[in-house]
């Protein structure tokens, strides 16, 4: 699974001119699911995101997590994070999971984040969405569950 995490002062997602998710200070998480992703990937990313130290403390250093600050989280499914642009000019999305698999894993990921007690809002799966993001910093961080898996396999 891939996630693009943006620290925001506020954000919202709309479908057909209806706001379906809205947060104040917190994180927008754009998440994409690959064909070979599983619940372990979702658990890893959820834990990584809520414990990522990207909120400033009194000394303006990145020392606080979403959990410590009570940040709100807006999660938006985005299969385009799996785009392969190595050949030609049109991205290939062959690595992206089929919709049924992706939706189930995104919902599982959302539940993992919700289980932390943070407020979680979300977009609508497989819908054309307009996402309004007021990036704070800007702070944008890319995460990939394969980074953890790779480290484990090479450290043994």
What pLDDT is stored for residue 147 in this prediction? 87
Catalytic residue, candidates 80, 101, 125, 127: 80
The one catalytic residue in 6, 79, 109, 112 is: 79
Q: Which one of 6, 55, 78, 109 is the catalytic residue?
A: 78
Annotation marks residue 78 as catalytic: yes
Say what the pLDDT of residue 13 is.
98
* Whole-angstrom distance, CA of residue 58 vs CA of residue 140: 21
- For the beta carbon of residue 143, count every other beta carbon within 10 angstroms: 19
CA distance 145 to 132: 26
Q: With b meaning 16 or more CB within 10 Å and e meaning fewer, what string describes 18-38?
A: eeebebebbbbbbbbbbeebe
The more confident residue out of 151 and 136 is: 136
Active site residue 108: no
pLDDT given at position 149: 55
The domains located in the chain, with CATH, are 2-155 (3.50.80.10)
pLDDT in tens, 94-138: 999 999 999 999 999 999 999 999 999 999 999 999 999 999 999
Model confidence at 62: pLDDT above 60? yes
pLDDT for residue 71 is more than 90:
yes
pTM, whole model, 2 decimals? 0.92
The pLDDT score that the predictor gives to residue 151 is: 47
Tokens matching residue 39: 């619940």
- The tokens for 121 are 């809002």
pLDDT at 150 over 80: no
- The residue-averaged pLDDT of 30-48 equals 97
Across the chain, what does the average pLDDT equal? 94
Q: Is 62 a catalytic residue?
A: no
What average pLDDT does range 50-68 have in this prediction? 97
SS3 content of the chain, % helix, strand, coil (to 5): 30, 40, 30
For residue 58 the two structure tokens come to 């009194």
Q: Tell me how far apart the alpha carbons of residues 143 and 135 are, in angstroms, rounded to a whole number.
A: 17
């Amino acid at each position: 699974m891939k996630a693009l995490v943006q620290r925001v002062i506020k954000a919202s997602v709309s479908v057909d001119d209806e706001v379906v998710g809205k947060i104040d200070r917190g994180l927008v998480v754009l998440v994409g699911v690959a064909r070979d992703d599983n619940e372990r990937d979702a658990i890893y990313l959820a834990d990584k995101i809520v414990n990522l130290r990207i909120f400033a403390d009194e000394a303006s250093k990145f020392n606080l997590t979403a959990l410590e600050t009570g940040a709100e989280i807006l999660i938006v499914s985005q299969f385009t994070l799996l785009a392969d642009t190595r050949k030609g000019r049109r991205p290939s999305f062959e690595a992206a999971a089929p919709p049924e698999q992706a939706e189930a894993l995104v919902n599982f990921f959302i539940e993992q984040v919700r289980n932390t007690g943070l407020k979680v809002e979300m977009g609508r799966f497989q819908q054309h969405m307009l996402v309004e993001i007021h990036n704070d910093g800007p702070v944008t961080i890319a995460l990939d569950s394969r980074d953890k898996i790779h480290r484990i396999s090479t450290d043994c």
